[in-house]
Amino acid sequence: MQLIAQKEAAEFVKTGAKEFRQNSEVRLTPGAKDIFTEAGVKVVFDSTAAPASAPAATATPGHYTPDDVRLFASKEATEIKEQICDIGRRIWAREYCDGNGGNISARLGPDRFICTPTGVSKGFMKPDMMCMVDGKGKQLGGTWKRSSEITTHMAIFHSTPEAVSVCHAHPCHAGAFAIKGMAPPPRLIPELEVFVGTVAYTPYKTPGSAEIAAEIFPLAPKHQSILMGNHGVICWGKSVEDAYFKMEITDAYCRTVILAQSIPGAASIPCDKLPELLNIKKTLGLPDDRYDLKPAGLCEVDPWQQMCGSHGCSSPVTPFNPMTNGAASSDAEIEALVQKLTDEIVANLSKK
């Protein structure tokens, strides 16, 4: 049970919010009710608004300055809050977040950012749950407690001035690469090459820690999509939707690559066609860590070798057999084994 007395009510009034949401875990003292009535704050009962993990609307009332209260209630802030809620619903609908996972943020003004609160499903957020923080992650607006991973977002905002919004979630296909300790190989689908670029990978560090912020900081200027090892994906963009698009493209790419592993063959975008894609990207004003590379350096490694060489894909893969409902016939298995042995013998002979 959380008791809101006069002191807490007065601090809440200072935030400028006009609605106090409470669930059955929260009780107001008569004095607190009077303060809300005098200040014109409406008390609303909402069982979904305050889950136990983010208790009530009084998590961090803080002492916000009048300027911050005005900024947080401005038209620009309202638009960003609505965009973040919209993208939260899309992240949840695509199963990119689990439980309370994921967080979204966006620049509002100099040293001011709007971000999602901690402890809520990203699919069911309301604009009045949003928080405002400064560049150090200190909360300066909002009645819900800000995300604990905001320092990771700040690493991107500080190293990458073009980043307007940051989106972090746990999509399964990109996450599968992240728990294998590798980024997906490049040069397989133009969509990723042009609109995202090389996906970066950084080894596991505790989520929200200074260590992970230090890893992300130097990567962000050249990578709009970064896999955080054994954790998830963080992307930045020129708007809230753009940051989300980077995540959607990254996860769709990873999903296609994972599916493709079970199909024989190994095609990739030819080396000499890659500069054309990078030129398109340059005209769109998108950053890429490969602009300075010479054509030969663009594709030193075959993507399928990169994928399977060090991580042991089962290759050659047994073809799908409709007669056995997908299970390999013994003939096909033997044929594949013979082919594999032959390839290895030829490769060894050619080394000598």
Residues that bind Zn ion (CB under 5 A): 232
- DSSP label at residue 293: S
- Cβ 226 to Zn ion shortest distance, Å: 12
Q: CA angle, corner 207, sides to 231 and 101, nearest 5?
A: 65
Nearer to Zn ion, 80 or 167 (CB): 167
DSSP 114-149: EEPBSSS-GGG--GGG-EEE-TT--EEE-SSPBPTT
- Cβ 142 to Zn ion shortest distance, Å: 20
- Cβ 166 to Zn ion shortest distance, Å: 12
Nearer to Zn ion, 119 or 232 (CB): 232
Cβ neighbours of 91 (radius 10 Å): 26
How many residues are present in the chain?
A: 352
Q: How far is Cα 232 from Cα 153, in angstroms, rounded to an integer?
A: 13
Nearer to Zn ion, 188 or 200 (CB): 200
- Cβ 223 to Zn ion shortest distance, Å: 17
Nearer to Zn ion, 62 or 232 (CB): 232
- Cβ 120 to Zn ion shortest distance, Å: 14
Nearer to Zn ion, 95 or 276 (CB): 95
Q: Quick one: tokens of 11?
A: 């601090």
- Cβ 168 to Zn ion shortest distance, Å: 6
- Please give the residue whose beta carbon sits closest to Zn ion in the complex: 232
User: Does an H or E element contain 166, and which?
Assistant: strand 165-169
Q: Please state the φ and ψ torsions of residue 69, each to the nearest 5 degrees.
A: -60, -45
Nearer to Zn ion, 137 or 232 (CB): 232
Q: Which residues contact 21 (CB under 8 A, 6 or more apart)?
A: 44, 45, 46, 49, 50, 56, 57, 128
- Cβ 149 to Zn ion shortest distance, Å: 6
Nearer to Zn ion, 230 or 239 (CB): 230
Q: Quick one: tokens of 281?
A: 């990207």
- Taking alpha carbons only, the member of 236, 256, 246 closest to residue 96 is 246
